[in-house]
Structure formats: C-alpha cells, structure tokens
Structure 1
Amino acid sequence: MRSSLGGKVRYGKPIVAALSAALVISLFVRGLDRTSPGPLSATHAAVDGLSDASSCSRCHSETSDSLAAACQECHEEIAEQLTTHNGLHGKIEHASECESCHSEHHGSDFVLTSETSFTRAGVADRNAFDHAIATTWTLTGAHTRLDCETCHENATKQVLAQDEKRFVGLTQTCTQCHEDRHEGRFGADCQSCHGQEKPFATAPGFEHPDRFPLTNGHSGHACAKCHETTPEPNTIATPQNSAMPLVRACAECHQNAHADGGTAMRIADTSDCSRCHDTAHFTGATFDVAAHARIGVRLEGAHENLACASCHGEGTAATGGSTLASTLGSTARRDMQSCSTCHIDPHATGNGVMAIADAGDCKRCHETSTFHGATYDAKAHAAIGVDLLGKHATAACTKCHDAAHGIADSSSPRNLSECATCHATPHGDAFAAASATSGGTSCKPCHESIDDGWRLPVRMTAANHGLTGFDLKGKHVAVACDRCHEGLGHTIVTADFAHRFPGREQKDCTACHEDPHAGEFARGPKPRACVECHDEDHFQPVDFGIEDHASTAMPLDGAHAAVSCNSCHQRDGKKLAFRGLDTACASCHEDVHRGQFQASKAGVTTCTKCHSTSGTFDDVRFDHQRDTRFPLDGSHQKVACAACHKPEGFPPFVRYKPLPVDCAGCHTPNGKKYVPGGRQR
C-alpha cells in the first residue's frame, strides 16, 4: 500500500503491540476467575484463613515457586530443625521442598503424612524407624518393643486438629512418660542409674555412696536386702525415708549369734563385731583355744585342731552367715559332756545297731584323742540285738567294721538281715531283684542254714525263682533246672557261679532258644522282643494282628486286611522273611500297564495315584484334568476313553502313556498333507 506521497504505509509493529496487550489483559482477567487445583486436605482446610477463595497467597508467593517459607511460618518446630540441622527434617537432603513429601489439593481424605512421605524421607518402614538417624534419643532395652503410638499418640491419626503435633514437641526426660518413684530426690537423670537395657528395679548404673562401701561380703546383694520395699509396688525405700540410719551396726542387718542373754558368748548387739570378724568372711573369726576355754568349753584332744566350721557350720543366709545362733543360741546351752551334742551317735536307740542312748557315756569305749580303737567284745555285741552266730562268732571286728564298711549311723543303719550288706554274692546280678521283692532277705529263701555255711544244700522253688526277676510261666515251669543251669548236683566253685546262674532278662529268649528269624527283629532302629508276638505257652500261632501291622512300613488296610500272612511272608530258603520286604505294589501285583508308569521312566505315576486298597482295581480315582498334561476341554470331554487309549501288543494292553498331545496326533483334516511346522509335505 502506498500513501499519497508515494511511500509505504507501515502498520506491522502497532498491530503486533495491540494484539499482545489484548492477550495479556485477557489472561489477567481469566486468572482472576481461575479455580483451585483441588480441595485442600482436611487438616489444612480446618485452619482459619486457608479455606476461602482469597487464601491462595497465604501459601503461594507471587515472587517464588517455593512453599518452604509459607510452610515454616506455621510449622515452627520444623523450621527450627531446618535451621539447626537437627531432627528428621534437619537431616534430610532437600528438606525445604515440603511438597515432595506432603502434597496438597487432593481432597479432604488425603493423608499429608503417609507411607510415601516416610519413603521419600529415606524411611522404608515407619514402624522400624531408627531414632538414632534424626534424634538424640536412642531406643534401647524395653523402649524398642513399644509402638510409636505409646509416646506419639497422634502418630497414626489421619487428621490433626489445629496445634496438634504428630511427632514433634516431646522432651526426652524420663518423667514425661514415667512416674518418678523417688519424687525428685535423686534428680532428673534417671538413666544414670537405671539405663534402658536391664530391668528398671536392678538399677545397674547405681553406685553405693562411699560412706557405706559395699565390699567383700556386702557386695553382690539385691538392694531390697537392706532397703525394704515400700507399700507401693515395685519401689524401694531410700535411706532418708526409712527408719534405718545411714551408718548401721552389724546387728541391725545380721543376727547376733552372741546376743545378750545367750549362754554361750554374751556379746551385746552394739559391740564391735570387727574384733573377731571382717566383711570378707564371717566364718574366719580370730577365736583361739584359750578364748574358747574362757566361755566354759575346753577343747581337748582331737578337738584342739578342728576348724570352727566343724562344730559351728558354714552358715546360712537366714543366720547372716553363721549357725552359731542355733548351736550356741540364747535358748539352750550345749551340753559339752555329751558327745552326741556335736557328733552323730552311730549307736543311737532305734537305728538297729547299738541300743545306747544319745546321753550314753561314750568314754566307756572311746576317748577324745581318737574315735577308733574302741574296746567292744562279743557279749556286748549280743546286747545290742545282733548275735554273732555260727561262723560270725569267730570273725574279727574289722571284717564288718572296717574303713570300707564302717558302722552305720542313725540316718542309714546297716541292714543286718541282708547278707549282701557284708558279703559279696557269688551269683553276680542274677538275684539282684530278690532283695526288693523279698523284704531284703534274698539269700535265706534258698540258703536256710546260712549261719553254718552257705554251701549246704539249697532249696529252689518256682516262687524263689521269681525272686531272681525271671518268673517261671507256661512251659518253663516243667523244664528241669539243669536244662538251663549246667552242673547242678556237683560242687560248684565260686568263680563258676556267674556262668551256672547267669542273670537273664525275662524277655531275652535267645539266651536259651534259637532265633528262627536269625536276628531279623533284633536289628534296625526299632528292635522287637520275642514276647511281642510269642508267649511261654506256645510259639505259634503268633499274637500279631492288624493293629500291630500298622506300626510297620506296610499298614494293612482295605483288601490287604483279608490277605493271609503267608501270601506276603514266604520262606527264603529256611527263613521266613518279615523285614526289608518291598512294599511297592508291583512286588506282589502284576503290572497290567506293562511298565508305562514305572519309576525309572520320565513322568512317574505311582499306583496309588489312581488305585487304592479299598474296593476293586477298576475303582480308580483318576482325574484327567489334574493328573495329565492333556486336560479334556470342549468336545474332548465327550470322547470315549477308548477313542484315544487303545489296546496294543500281545497279550494286549491299553496304551496310556506316552501319547501325543498335539492336534495332529489324532486329527488329520488335510490328509497328512502338512507336516508339523506348517510346511507342506
């Protein structure tokens, strides 16, 4: 276009400027009407000033895309973590990008602190959060077993009310969660004594004050041993609120074995125990023979060299480490003229040895220098009720009362009616059961004139035989003695008795009888005794039924229960075979499938997969869908079995496997025009 002056009219730049201005104005007008990207979460929607249409600028700055400043304006604790680089947010890289973990405008049901939030913060499992990552409060001991909600009650709360805290805002002082049993008397550092690793009551970190050091015997005791528990459960009273003073006399905790009124050693409770004792051990008191004589008990003869504990014991917890309270107590003084005050009287009344009372004059036979070497004759022996008859009358005392046998004390007197108390039996263990079953007189039932000599003729009856532990029952009653015991009627030397009268078990049949099973039932992890099938009256028939067979590798059920024993257990040479038999079906039954399902071939199918012992062989439990690699679907379900499984061979058998499973194996719609693979023949 040209002007009247012949030049070009330039409209381009003004038009572009006008259009740009119009576009900016239209976008601004549209921005005034712009809708929110979505509803706020219920937590933020409940905050005053965030839910109306003009509240966007509270969080969204016109000059910055970051929401961090706006978030920190409300979440002051998080802002402090970011500034000090403490806490979870203070340790997370890019923690100021709040929206990456706590997204908004997804509706009121949206959870601001979700599993996704923890995952993006590097915590894969919030329930396994490691406090040591972001806090100075390390969870150990019982604290590791607590749920988050135990301390952070809003941990899983979906919607927090305004000013409610989820994880922040807690202190790490023990009293925020636990009651101070000491009411502040020991300060606020509970962990210095109790820690977290061990039970609270043990206070493993506590150190006892120096004014009463716990050394030697005082160490290692439970606190409650001195500091009794208060009426309130699981608490221990401190010395300040107990009646016990801080520094105590020994008798305040320990029983005074020498208390006022005691007739042995009159030492008051307030006396200095350390004159004789120390804290290392109470029993090592420095108390010599001269001091002992001053209390009226003179140590003479062998008594001079005895340790104190020989008379006064090692002590028990109940007596504070000493038995002096019981041996030298305040209620009864020891009669030091009576030996039985300290010594067990081996001749006490009622022990069956010597009828001499505890108060008897021991010095008639013994002296204080030694107990041995007593003067005691045969007449005195008869006076105690034990006559020395026959060969016993000429036996030396030491034959019965030597270092090996000794003299029975009152707690375990000798059984003088039992020969084996003194004499070794020539029968070994053959008659071991007799003593228990015959009232302790195992020898006398057979050897009546025992005092005159045990080699005199003996008497053996069926009843006496039962005393040996081997009862004669059934056909054993009629068996002559010399069938089992060779050489009867002749003099038998002592060394030969064990051979002639061996100790045999009632169930050890093979000791006399030949084992027709050649040890078959004696071997293996579960050996069986003969009496489990046979008894003394007859060897056959055996007592082994269906229930007994159930304990073997081949339980008899179904049709097998009616089969005779000889059908399976047949003679192998001269021996009937019972163990180690093949339990496979084919070991007894003909394989009508001609080895199609043999275990040596691929695709093993056992007989029990289709057949059972219940019913007949033709009652199969075969499932084509489950048990084959060719499920019957569609029209195949209507096809008769014989259409695919046809007889072959001679004698004929039905072919079940292997068979082709591809279509061409049965169908040839193209007259075998094509070969597998799609190529034309």
Structure 2
Amino acid sequence: MKAWRSLLWLLALLVATPVLGQSIMERLVTPGPLSNAHAKLESNCAACHSSFKKEAQNGKCASCHKGIAGDIASGTHFHGRFGPARGGTCKSCHSEHKGRNVRLANLNAATFNHGLSDFPLTGKHARLACTSCHRQAPHYRGAPHDCASCHGAKDPHRGQFGRNCASCHTTAGWKPATGFDHARTGFTLVGAHRSATCAACHTGGRFKGIGRTCVSCHARDDAHRGSRGTNCASCHTSTTWKSATFDHSSTGFSLIGGHAQAACAGCHGPGNANKHPGRTCIGCHARDDTHKGKNGTDCASCHNPRGWKQTSFDHEKMTGFALRGPHRTAACAACHVQPPKVAKPPVTCFGCHAKDDSHKGANGMDCARCHTVTTWKSSNFNHNTMTDFPLAGAHAKAKCEDCHMQGAPKAQISAQCGTCHAKDDVHAKRLGQDCARCHASTGWKANIRFDHDLTKFPLLGKHSALQCASCHVDRSFAAKGTACQDCHTDKHHAGTLGTPAKCRSCHNSTDWKSWSFDHDRATRFALTGKHQGLVCSACHSRPGDPAKVSTKCIDCHRRTDPHRGGFGEDCERCHVTSSFNQIIMGAQRKP
C-alpha cells in the first residue's frame, strides 16, 4: 500500500513539474506530433486540453476558432447546420496527433452536402470543382456569395449594369439572360430580334445610344443599296428579312407559281439594278432552255410558271407512246438524247434499257415477259411455280443474279445449299455440306437447330445467351474443355488465388460477379473485425497458393506498424481485429 502511495506522489510530481513547456508525463503520454496548423501549440498541452476534463475540450477549440463558434451559436453556415458539428465534439471530425502533414478537415468533395452551408449549389454551380470558388482553401466559410465576386472579371457589360448579376442571369446558364425584359428599354424584341444575340446589336458591349430604326442596324444588309430609301418596314417585317410584303402585281406583272418564291435579285439582278426586266419567258430563262432553242422560244406552249419541270405536253396524244409508271417522271432528255425533230427514240424496252439489263441479254430482249413499267425491279416471274426450287425464307428476298450469275437459261442451279453458300460456310466444311441439318432458309443465323444441352457441357446461366463464336472462336465447334480457365483468363486475380485458377470455388455461371466463398469454413483464417468485407486482393496480392499465405498480423501490417518493430512482431498481444486503435494490454496470444 505504501508503494502505491509513493507511486501516486511521484506521478503528481511529474505532472506538476514543467520541462520545456510540457511536463514529463505529458511528454510520455502524447499520442504523436500535431499537424502543421497546431504545431506551435505542441509545447502547450493546456491550450487544447484540461487535465481530467474531456468535456472542456470543445470550449478550448471555440476560444481559438471564434468564427465557427459563432456559427454554431447562431445555427448558420456549415457548423451551425450540421448536426454532429452542432452537438458533438470537435475531435470526432478533426482528429489530432497524427503527424504534421495530416489534414484536420478530411473533407470529401464528392459527398459533401453544400446545402448545409449558406450557399446551396444550383444549376451549373453544382458541377464545379470546389477550388473553382474556394481558391484559398481551407478557408471555405469566407468565400463570397455575390455573383460579381467570382464573375466580375468576365462581365461583358463592364459594370454598366451594376454587380447584381442575378437580376438577369440564373445559375442554370449564363446565357440566355432570362430575367431581363428588353421591353423595359422601350424597344420590344419581336420576330427574329427575339433570337438575336445581344452582341448582334450591342457591338463592343455598348448598351447606350443604340439606334432604333431598321437602317441603323441593317444598312449593310440592304440588298437595294439605298435605292428603295431607308424605310425598310414598308416592305419587310421583323419576322424575317427575306419575307417582304411588297405587292408585285402593282407593277403589272403578278408573281405566280415559281415566280412567287423567286428572290428579287433573280430577275432584278444584284442590288435590283435592273428595275424593268423583260416579261417574256425566254427573256429571263434563255440560259435554262435545255432544248437550246431547237423547240422555239414559246416556252409557255409546254411549260407553266408553277414549275419549270411541270409541262403540259400530252405525250400519248402527240407521239402515240403513253408514259406510264416511272416513264411519267423521267426527264425528257433521258429518252430524247437528240431533239425529237432530229431523231425519235425507240419504243421497245430493250431499245432504251439494254444497258440496264442485268441478264446481259441471256434472257432475251422481251423484258415485258417478266418486268412491268411500274418498276424495273418488280418482276412478275413466279419462281415457285415456274421452277423446281420454291423460294422460301431469305431466298424470297434474294436478287435473281445472286444465284443466276450466268442467266437462267444458260445455267441450271443445284438445289444443294453448298452450291451457292460454300463461301459462306464458316465451318470450312469441317461439319459436312448438309447445312440444312442445323440451318434454315429463313436466315443463316436464325433458327439454328442445335441443342448444346445434349453435349457434355450444357449451357447454363450466362452461357445460354452467348453467341456460338464467343467460345468457338475458330468456328470448328470442337470441344473446348469444360473447365472455366479454358475460356476465361484469370485477369482479375492474376494468379493470386492459385494457378490454375479454381473459378468454381467462388463463381457460378449465373453471374460472374455473383460469387460466394466462406473464408471462415474453407480456410484456417476466420475473417473477424476489420478483416470482414475486405476484397481478396487486400491480402492475396501476389501470385501463388492462397493456402500458403501467412496468417501473422505483421506480414500484412508491417508498413503500418506505428511502433516500427519496437514491440516485436506479435501484434495480437495488444491489438484486436475490430479496430487497430483498440488496445487490450496483456491480450492472450493465439496458440
């Protein structure tokens, strides 16, 4: 009992005896060096701690950090709104004595709720990096809230509209300025003016002294070059510059048909220099006359102003050759290579379409036997009734020349699949020529009649939806092996769980990522405490037999040993797996 009393007096003496600012006891029990922010307080423990009074520590923090203390008292800013900061201890978030370079505020920018601050992030602010506004971190609470503090240097108005940017702009986008009503200036934006950019009228960022007449802005756009005066609104509207309301019938030449959509310069020339152009068709359209004058100058005898290509010429009555099907829409020059007065075109199909004959004359010149004037590709030849090979499935959509490369009368095609599809045989004849044994005419890759479940490797789970070539890369369709590693290279574990990999120990064919492995029962090392939930590679990081991985703590935690080997390698003598910081002095060794 006397020995204990002596020890207590000695401890009291040590605590009360300051040496270089710290008592001997303080120097002995200090957990570690302070961070750079508090390094100057390292010799003064009392600045942050009160002996035997943990509850006084928050008050010590508040005495230095007065701004944050005020936030907590007023319920403002982050510390005043965040529950754990408002009612908990400072050290629960800001842990000290972990070294000089440790950050006291371990802020996670990805998960931080900025809504707890006095400035919720909306619009494009929500996608910005923290340093975009907080350029002098970690002084986050001192960042300004007004727009001009951040955006003043980029203000295109150069301060002409003051610093209250939010009166016109929103955080959703700098442009457009949805909050600005141009009607307040006395010039309401209507028509095309509504979609014009501000700079289109306010060049150089000038917003005062801007003219309000059309010509003040559009003088350079005046195609008339001033010949029609300066009152643009007499013909044009703000809806579109090219939409003019000028009544051309007042000139004695009404604009109808294609003339109604023609540009003024089309007849009046650039700048409307030609005020009185000719009124006859040939007067304007001589260059457009594809007949080169051979059919005369009376264009209106065939053409009309609705469209240059719309003619009133009755081909059947005037030539005896009725234009049907695509002939009705064909250009005159397609058949009349020479003017009608010089040479008349033939009236037989082959006479015009010899070059289009895909049969190269092998089927004769009577095109109408199979084809119609409706469309060249629409044939009335019935392959099902006129041959011994009915066209079914994909064959019904095939072109004649796909099979009849030399013309039907000259070459009889065999009905065997291999006759036409030898080049398409991805199996390179290794599975024989009886394609119909597995394939159907409906589609080469569709309705394949092969039951893989009858083989030694039934397709289960993810395997059932795979394409054949996913496993049979060489398309030989020979046995590839039934072990997982025969197809799946161990890229993820890279041999750290054994070679060859025993995938089935954990994985199944239902889902590669849906795996199960009972480490406690299947191994001699039960996962307890912090070991639970670790990824395999946390311990099994090197190739080799996983069963040979050491179970000693020090073999994994040597780098993180704060004692640097000073207490030996038997970590479990003091530590437990539930928490590295939880120390049980005199803990029992593992047998």
TM-score bracket for this pair, using the shorter chain length: 0.5 to 0.7
Q: Is contact 2:393-2:443 (8 Å) kept?
A: no
Partner of 1:42: 35
For residue 114 of structure 1, the aligned residue among 76, 81, 106 is 106
Equivalent position SS for 2:188: coil
Partner of 1:676: none
Q: Is contact 1:559-1:613 (8 Å) kept?
A: no
Sequence identity (%) = 20
Letter in 2 for 1:88: F
Question: Per the alignment, do residues 472 and 79 of structure 1 end up closer, same or farther by CA in structure 2, a change over 3 Å counting?
Answer: closer
Equivalent position SS for 1:126: coil
Question: Once the 2 structures are TM-superposed, how far is the Cα of residue 188 of structure 1 from its aligned partner?
Answer: 1.6
Question: Once the 2 structures are TM-superposed, how far is the Cα of residue 278 of structure 1 from its aligned partner?
Answer: 8.9
The whole-number CA distance in structure 2 between the counterparts of 1:171 and 1:580 is 68
Equivalent position SS for 1:108: coil
The whole-number CA distance in structure 1 between the counterparts of 2:222 and 2:455 is 98
RMSD: 6.1
Partner of 1:396: none
Q: Is contact 2:169-2:179 (8 Å) kept?
A: yes
2:341 maps to 1:440: no
Question: Per the alignment, do residues 550 and 87 of structure 1 end up closer, same or farther by CA in structure 2, a change over 3 Å counting?
Answer: farther
Letter in 1 for 2:428: D
The whole-number CA distance in structure 2 between the counterparts of 1:86 and 1:601 is 59
Partner of 1:29: 13
Question: Per the alignment, do residues 310 and 23 of structure 1 end up closer, same or farther by CA in structure 2, a change over 3 Å counting?
Answer: same
Q: Is contact 1:132-1:138 (8 Å) kept?
A: yes
Question: Once the 2 structures are TM-superposed, how far is the Cα of residue 208 of structure 1 from its aligned partner?
Answer: 3.0
The whole-number CA distance in structure 2 between the counterparts of 1:22 and 1:425 is 134
Q: Is contact 1:352-1:414 (8 Å) kept?
A: no
For residue 519 of structure 1, the aligned residue among 391, 395, 410 is 391
2:63 maps to 1:167: no
Partner of 1:134: 117
Equivalent position SS for 2:182: coil
2:94 maps to 1:206: no
The whole-number CA distance in structure 1 between the counterparts of 2:198 and 2:124 is 22
The whole-number CA distance in structure 1 between the counterparts of 2:106 and 2:315 is 88
Question: Once the 2 structures are TM-superposed, how far is the Cα of residue 71 of structure 1 from its aligned partner?
Answer: 1.2
Question: Once the 2 structures are TM-superposed, how far is the Cα of residue 189 of structure 1 from its aligned partner?
Answer: 1.0
Question: Per the alignment, do residues 56 and 326 of structure 1 end up closer, same or farther by CA in structure 2, a change over 3 Å counting?
Answer: farther
Q: Is contact 1:429-1:503 (8 Å) kept?
A: yes
2:65 maps to 1:75: yes
Deviations 1:550-589 (A, max 9, x none): 65xx6333623xx4x4x5569xxxxx986689856789xx
For residue 429 of structure 1, the aligned residue among 325, 328, 331 is 325
Q: Is contact 2:258-2:305 (8 Å) kept?
A: no
Question: Per the alignment, do residues 197 and 515 of structure 1 end up closer, same or farther by CA in structure 2, a change over 3 Å counting?
Answer: farther
Partner of 1:103: 95
Structure showing greater radius of gyration is: 1
Equivalent position SS for 1:184: coil
Question: Per the alignment, do residues 40 and 287 of structure 1 end up closer, same or farther by CA in structure 2, a change over 3 Å counting?
Answer: same
2:363 maps to 1:476: yes
Residue ranges of structure 1 left out of the alignment (5+ in a row) = 1-15, 116-124, 156-164, 231-236, 289-296, 317-322, 357-380, 387-399, 451-457, 486-497, 571-575, 628-681
Deviations 1:631-657 (A, max 9, x none): xxxxxxxxxxxxxxxxxxxxxxxxxxx
Question: Per the alignment, do residues 424 and 326 of structure 1 end up closer, same or farther by CA in structure 2, a change over 3 Å counting?
Answer: closer
Letter in 2 for 1:556: H
Question: Once the 2 structures are TM-superposed, how far is the Cα of residue 520 of structure 1 from its aligned partner?
Answer: 1.8
For residue 555 of structure 1, the aligned residue among 398, 402, 426 is 426
Question: Once the 2 structures are TM-superposed, how far is the Cα of residue 263 of structure 1 from its aligned partner?
Answer: 6.2
Map of 1:589-628 to 2, 5 A cutoff? 597=456, 621-622=480-481
2:203 maps to 1:239: no
Letter in 2 for 1:253: C
Partner of 1:151: 133
Partner of 2:275: 334
2:25 maps to 1:51: no
**Count of residues paired in the alignment:** 460
Question: Once the 2 structures are TM-superposed, how far is the Cα of residue 51 of structure 1 from its aligned partner?
Answer: 1.6
The structure with the greater share of residues assigned to helix is: 2
The whole-number CA distance in structure 2 between the counterparts of 1:463 and 1:110 is 92
More displaced 10-residue stretch of structure 1: 435-444 or 93-102:
435-444
Question: Per the alignment, do residues 348 and 100 of structure 1 end up closer, same or farther by CA in structure 2, a change over 3 Å counting?
Answer: closer
The whole-number CA distance in structure 1 between the counterparts of 2:199 and 2:367 is 75
The whole-number CA distance in structure 1 between the counterparts of 2:223 and 2:394 is 72
2:176 maps to 1:177: no
The whole-number CA distance in structure 1 between the counterparts of 2:475 and 2:244 is 91
Question: Once the 2 structures are TM-superposed, how far is the Cα of residue 102 of structure 1 from its aligned partner?
Answer: 0.9
The whole-number CA distance in structure 1 between the counterparts of 2:136 and 2:62 is 20
Question: Per the alignment, do residues 613 and 550 of structure 1 end up closer, same or farther by CA in structure 2, a change over 3 Å counting?
Answer: farther
Question: Per the alignment, do residues 517 and 174 of structure 1 end up closer, same or farther by CA in structure 2, a change over 3 Å counting?
Answer: same
Question: Once the 2 structures are TM-superposed, how far is the Cα of residue 198 of structure 1 from its aligned partner?
Answer: 1.9
The whole-number CA distance in structure 2 between the counterparts of 1:85 and 1:349 is 86
Question: Per the alignment, do residues 555 and 443 of structure 1 end up closer, same or farther by CA in structure 2, a change over 3 Å counting?
Answer: farther
Partner of 1:533: 403
Map of 1:266-345 to 2, 5 A cutoff? 299=250, 332=273, 334-335=275-276, 340=279
Question: Per the alignment, do residues 133 and 423 of structure 1 end up closer, same or farther by CA in structure 2, a change over 3 Å counting?
Answer: farther
Partner of 1:187: 162
Partner of 1:121: none
The whole-number CA distance in structure 1 between the counterparts of 2:148 and 2:174 is 17
Question: Per the alignment, do residues 415 and 522 of structure 1 end up closer, same or farther by CA in structure 2, a change over 3 Å counting?
Answer: farther
Question: Per the alignment, do residues 263 and 28 of structure 1 end up closer, same or farther by CA in structure 2, a change over 3 Å counting?
Answer: closer
Map of 1:484-503 to 2, 5 A cutoff? 484=369
The whole-number CA distance in structure 2 between the counterparts of 1:382 and 1:616 is 70
Residue ranges of structure 2 left out of the alignment (5+ in a row) = 17-23, 487-591
Question: Per the alignment, do residues 238 and 476 of structure 1 end up closer, same or farther by CA in structure 2, a change over 3 Å counting?
Answer: same
Question: Per the alignment, do residues 130 and 216 of structure 1 end up closer, same or farther by CA in structure 2, a change over 3 Å counting?
Answer: same
Question: Per the alignment, do residues 186 and 424 of structure 1 end up closer, same or farther by CA in structure 2, a change over 3 Å counting?
Answer: farther
Equivalent position SS for 2:125: helix
The whole-number CA distance in structure 2 between the counterparts of 1:616 and 1:461 is 51
Letter in 1 for 2:369: C
Partner of 1:253: 217
Q: Is contact 1:41-1:104 (8 Å) kept?
A: yes
Question: Per the alignment, do residues 102 and 211 of structure 1 end up closer, same or farther by CA in structure 2, a change over 3 Å counting?
Answer: closer
The whole-number CA distance in structure 1 between the counterparts of 2:340 and 2:223 is 59
Deviations 1:173-224 (A, max 9, x none): 3333331443433222122222221234x32222337453225455443212
2:171 maps to 1:196: yes
Question: Once the 2 structures are TM-superposed, how far is the Cα of residue 93 of structure 1 from its aligned partner?
Answer: 2.5
The whole-number CA distance in structure 2 between the counterparts of 1:141 and 1:108 is 38
Letter in 1 for 2:426: P
2:382 maps to 1:510: yes
2:304 maps to 1:407: yes
